[in-house]
Amino acid sequence: MKETLVKLFKLQNTDREILERKMMIKEIPQKMKELEKIIGDRTELLEEVEQRLKGNHNKELAVERKLQETKISIERHKKQLLTVKTNKEYAALLKEISTEESNIERLEEEMLYLLDETEGVEEEKREEEKTLSKMKERYEKNKAALEEKKERFEREIEIKKKEREQFATEIEGNLLKRYEKIRSLRDGIAVVQIQEGNCGGCFSSIPPQVINEAKRGDKILTCESCGRIIVYLKEDQGQSGE
């Protein structure tokens, strides 16, 4: 019976290793989404900077257009000074020209401010592009690493499945069915070791008498709390051959 318990525990170890790898494979798509979100968020930041830059360029074009229109208007009014016939008309034109020249100064100051702001936004854009480029490089490396992990886990699962088949053939049919039943009800873990007087599955205290029986290894024992099969093995007895 002791040998059967050892085989049963080795089967459990192999099943646990398969389960762990399946769980890690299941986590990979979420990790990929997290990596993609980081890139997406950073891309949005760059797009926001690009929109601000575009807005600044549009403002510059509007100011430049207003400047040209105002300069043309001043030239037109200066020519009109030569043709007016009354002092009142002359004074009105001079006042208009003075106002337009003040507008020219204001527009030129506004243009200088916009050019300075645009230069800052362009530098911000260059920095964001560099940051995003580096992040994309890291993303590709991390993505490749996750894909390699997935492939490795899948290969390991296939190897473990073959090991499992071998262990399963060495266990009596009814006991194997019992094992599978418990495993299906207990998150894939049907056999646990007694650890410091406690069940290795639910950590409930195991009575001393049961521990002594487990040490003898002459029958199948279960935890009264969780129903898992409990075994008492030496360190080298439960290895799955890795």
> Options 2.60.40.10, 3.40.50.150, 1.10.287.1490, 1.10.3720.10; which CATH number does 20-169 get?
1.10.287.1490
Over residues 112-159, the pLDDT tens digits come to 999 999 999 999 999 999 999 999 999 999 999 999 999 999 999 999
Mean pLDDT rounded to a whole number for the chain? 94
In the chain, what percentage of residues exceed pLDDT 90? Answer: 93
At 1 the pLDDT is 73
Q: Report the C-alpha gap between 61 and 52 in whole angstroms.
A: 14
Q: Where are the domains of the chain?
A: 20-169, 173-231
pLDDT tens for each residue of 35-91: 999 999 999 999 999 999 999 999 999 999 999 999 999 999 999 999 999 999 999
Per-residue pLDDT reduced to its tens digit, 172-215: 999 999 999 999 999 999 999 999 999 999 999 999 999 999 99
| HEC secondary structure over 174-204 | HHHHHHHHHHHHCCCCCEEEEECCEECCCCC
- At residue 14's C-alpha, the angle toward residues 12 and 15, to 5°, is 65
Distances (CA, A) of 55 to 60, 122, 175, 193, 225: 9, 12, 75, 68, 68
The three-class DSSP label of residue 132 is helix
Contact 155, 20 (CB under 8 A): no
191 φ, ψ (degrees, to nearest 5): -125, 130
**Residue 235's pLDDT is what?**
64
Q: What is the pLDDT of residue 66?
A: 97
Question: What's the confidence (pLDDT) of residue 193?
Answer: 94
